[in-house]
Amino acid sequence: MPDAPASILLFGATGQVGHALRRPLAALGTVHTPGRAAVDLTDLTSVREAATSVREAAGEHEPDLIVNAAAYTDVDGAEEEPGRAAQINAEAPRALAEAAQDVGAWCVHYSTDYVFDGTKRAPYTEADAPHPIGVYARTKRAGEKAVQAASDRHVILRTSWMYSRRRSNFVKAMLRLADETDRPTVVDDQIGVPTWAGWCAGATASVCERLLAEDDGALAGLYHLVGTGQTSWYGLARAVFAQFGRTDVTAQPVSSGEYETAAPRPAYTVLDASRARAAFDLPATTWTAQLARFREHVQAADGARVARG
């Protein structure tokens, strides 16, 4: 840990990962979370002003760390709003990375497995060349390149298939669907690694702690941040129903061709995260163990809510 508490600027604090990051980052220093009223990610001037400095009660301090968990994540919506997707996924990250470079701060930015086209049939490593398909994927890849070009002290974390209790995500959709039908149809020919936002946030905090403590430029770069194992959306649905005791629900596998979507989906985007585990001494946690922890988290939160009346 650094001698003094770090000043951390967190963007996207209301999203799945951003919200989960609040508590673990708070253990590292003072976390500033400008909301939409304070910064508009589609306005580069607003982004730069928020990133260049943060104001605390004792005065004005430049951030030691800028974490960007904000993104345009509507894969199909991006096909209809390419300009907005590009602004949030590429231009805003560029501005944040430039600000981090100006003040000597670390810049931590999230990207996605969708930067790959899915034609490979072995886990993708950081050495594999991206080939994004669809607007969302292309804007996220553009964001990666923008951050890499703008900041010498950046860490880009590619993750995949995110879920939590917040926002729209597959796991929430399956639990809702279980109340509507006992035989939901789920795609079985897209393969990836499900990631619980709580696990991702904890791993990210470990990365940030190392960056702040050692300030080692050799740690800068691109990393994959997921658990181990792989499954299809159908496999994940079955695991969700089993974890939450929905034995009355039986998922039915279907092909991607049976669903029409605005944006193409890659068929295989399993990420190999061994580089991040080695660099930051992160544990290898299976996606199934993350799902079990998520279920425990949900049940504990629901129990606490009932206790409060």
Tell me if residue 40 falls in helix, strand or coil: coil
Please pick, among 110, 114, 136, 234, the residue that the annotation labels catalytic: 136
Tell me if residue 195 falls in helix, strand or coil: strand
Query: What is the amino acid identity at position 124?
Result: Y
Tell me if residue 79 falls in helix, strand or coil: helix
Q: DSSP secondary structure string, 243-286?
A: HTT-TT---EEE-GGGS--SS---SB--B--HHHHHHHT----B
Question: 162: which residues sit within 8 A by CB, 6+ positions away?
Answer: 16, 17, 169, 195, 197, 200
> Is 136 tagged catalytic?
yes
Structure tokens at 68: 């960007």
CA dihedral 29, 35, 41, 42 (to 10 degrees): -170
Q: Hunting for tokens 């658990």 — which residue is that? A: 227
Does residue 169 contact residue 16 with C-beta atoms inside 8 Å?
yes
Nearest to 267 by CA among 118, 165, 125: 118
Tell me how far apart the alpha carbons of residues 261 and 259 are, in angstroms, rounded to a whole number.
6
Scanning the chain, the segments in alpha helix (DSSP H) are: 16-26, 44-52, 77-80, 82-86, 92-103, 135-150, 170-177, 197-214, 233-243, 274-280, 287-308
Query: What is the amino acid identity at position 86?
Result: A
The residues annotated as belonging to the active site are: 136
